[in-house]
Amino acid sequence: MASPQVFDGKSPSVAADAWLHPTAVVIGDVEIGPRASIWPMCVVRGDIHRIEIGADTNIQDGSILHVSHDSRFMPGGAPVVIHDAVTVGHQVVLHGCEIQDHCLIGIGARVLDRAVVEPRTMLGAGALVTPGQVLEGGYLWLGAPARRARALTDRELEYLDYVAANYVRLAARYRAETAESGR
């Protein structure tokens, strides 16, 4: 498993049943919840503000999570807060934003400072959520900047829960294989 790195006296807190791939980089003021998973080549850099990753959330390969510090340009700064059962696709950038429960952030999407993605939202691949933008839950959002495309179907709403649970199961398999091999 990856070695969480201390920065400025702050050490990541990782739930005992979370799983971090050995190539993931996790630095500073980061909290990773139960059954969450951080996949290969991810960077979770809580060096100048905090990052919270909720239970059953997965951050997929090559994603970058970073924050904005408190300054006169951004009073209070902007942490990254990801709630429970969120799926963050490959090569996503989340910067100083909030992703609420049961969302799917599509491959290569970008969500910027102080943006909020409300519960049960699908953000399409390559979408751009601009600073401070709020995405209403229950919809598919596409494009750059992200625009509401349509309401999610019952099947898509069900998929949001399925994909998060599937990653919990997959991470448990990786954790078990790592324990068996002594790595």
Per-residue pLDDT of the chain (183 residues; tens, 9 = 90+): 577 799 999 999 999 999 999 999 999 999 999 999 999 999 999 999 999 999 999 999 999 999 999 999 999 999 999 999 999 999 999 999 999 999 999 999 999 999 999 999 999 999 999 999 999 999 999 999 999 999 999 999 999 999 999 999 999 999 998 877 765
DSSP per residue, 145-161: TTEEEEEPPHHHHHHHH
Token reading at 134: 């709020």
Query: Which residues make Cβ contacts (< 8 Å) with residue 131, sequence separation at least 6?
Result: 112, 113, 114, 115
Question: Domains in the chain and their CATH numbers?
Answer: 13-182 (2.160.10.10)
Nearest to 114 by CA among 137, 125, 90, 130: 130
Contacts of 99 (CB under 8 A, 6+ apart): 81, 82, 83, 86, 88, 105, 111, 117
